[in-house]
Structure 1
């Protein structure tokens, strides 16, 4: 039995199948932990979502910003964007089954057997792991009940930029979601910059990558995350493992074998 953490699929079914073959993945024995963004921008979002759903007993995923965007579009909150590749999912005969399953997925997965935690974008630097788990659970509960429509209606936006325990309702849900699914750069107060997507060594003025924050709460728990293809799979920080190696942009799809931290890749 082996466990693997895999970066953003983004509709790249061919690369995912290549990686499954290279891993000799056995659904009765092995487990996959996916860092979110299963869909969008790639050539086969529907096929990718169907493949993950078919393997759901042994494949676990967190939600990424593109997954939440798909759910918001399906909810009628916002129209598809020009670069989206979601129409096949939205028009599929099994869309309700696929989207219903996707909406039940978490923002954060704890992997105690590997002393690790996974989210799409990382763990906010000034949040303890207990706080991160509790705040992720708040949004997961909203997504799984009658408040989901309200959540999607208010999901988009870059404010509040920082955490405040006094926040409530949609503002609180939005800032939690932004931290787990969109975070890259933060300032000294750990507030988010959500407008920049550039190289980690060229941050906007006054900002740094979240994992370089001098006040980051550091533990022995390994942080597994995707979302930031420009990192090319390397954070440069011990036990902070970047998994998105830009498959959809012509890079590679990467699996990190959690038993020995060996990386296996398929070029896209």
Structure 2
């Protein structure tokens, strides 16, 4: 079964439908099995139609017998927090239609049951990044801890303690809310860190850091322990599309007027849809 991963949708419904239909048409022409399609998080927010986008991906996933799924991104978690009164909406949010939708609770229930990471055929899919100290197996185990919290009856309590930039580095002895917060921040927010794995959350609008800061893209840390798999991620529109040994970066700035990108994990071939510029500034 061929597997495709699609980058950040951010509420760009028309482009999402077009790219999925292009994938399905391509595989139909090849006469093979229906493809697996994975989304790398940030399904919603900032684009023009977050509600239709979320409904569309939910419908695809629910009718796919597990072939179609999405990992959670920071905007998806933000929606869950806003919907439960834990975080206020920001001026750039486009979440109102979801919050007022008659199927709101079903959508939120489906969203909070999505995985934080997926490991498939030598590819590790996350939204943001993976700390250099973590192996692929450890990443999946730690993602599972967050998934268990989100799916528990006390999930809103977890959301209330999820926000904050500390701890900014991993320690196996971390426990409780601090442990889960560190995992979430790495998997959904990280772009830069030091060689020791200290995360930075200030740098957002660049693909490069001043060498004097000691910061580097998380995937460039020497000796990172996920070098034996290809890590697939989104979240970083300033970095843009990158398909190279060891990493596939898929946030090609759809909401900023770039493209919506999909990569086939079997052969790393690329499909793209041009996008309307819905936002003027590159901040993710």
TM-score tier, shorter chain, comes to over 0.9
| 1:220 paired residue among 228, 234, 241 | 228
Identify the residue that residue 46 of structure 1 maps to in structure 2. 51
**Offset, 1:203:** 4.6
Contact 2:24 2:35 in 1 (8 A): no
Preserved CA contact (<8 Å) 1:245 1:251: yes
| Aligned positions, number | 265
Question: Which SS does the other structure have where 2:242 is aligned?
Answer: coil
Using the alignment, how far apart are the partners of 2:9 and 2:38 within structure 1? 12
User: For the residues of structure 2 that align with 1:220 and 1:34, how far apart are their CA atoms?
Assistant: 22
Contact 1:203 1:209 in 2 (8 A): no
TM-score, normalised by the number of residues in structure 1: 0.94
Return the offset for 1:218: 4.3
Worse-matched range after superposition: 247-256 or 215-224: 215-224
Provide Cα deviations, 1:194-225, integer angstroms capped at 9, x if missing partner: 11113222357121000111131244321111
Check if 1:130 corresponds to 2:144.
Answer: no
Q: What does residue 215 of structure 2 align with?
A: 207
Aligned mates of 1:184, 1:141 — CA distance in 2: 25
2:74 is matched with 65
Deviations 1:62-110 (A, max 9, x none): 0000000000111111111111000100000001111100000010111
Give the Cα–Cα distance (whole angstroms) in 2 for the partners of residues 23 and 141 of structure 1. 32
- Counterpart of 1:95 (choices 88, 104, 117) is 104
* 2:169 is aligned with 1:158: no
Aligned mates of 2:249, 2:91 — CA distance in 1: 28
Q: Which residue is equivalent to 2:279? A: none
1:116 shift after superposition: 1.1
How is 1:1-268 mapped onto 2 (pairs within 5 angstroms)?
1-25=1-25, 29-56=34-61, 57=64, 58-111=67-120, 114-203=121-210, 205-234=213-242, 237-268=244-275
Q: Distance in 1 between matches of 2:53 and 2:227?
A: 34
Question: Quick one: distance in 2 between partners of 1:202 and 1:45?
Answer: 32
- In the alignment, the residues of structure 1 paired with residue 174 and residue 240 of structure 2 have an alpha-carbon distance, to the nearest angstrom, of 35
Q: Is the 8 A contact 2:112 2:151 kept in 1?
A: yes
Partners of 2:209 and 2:161 lie apart in 1 by 31
Secondary structure of 1:245 counterpart = coil
Moved more, 7-16 or 149-158: 149-158
Q: Which runs of 5+ in 1 are unaligned?
A: none
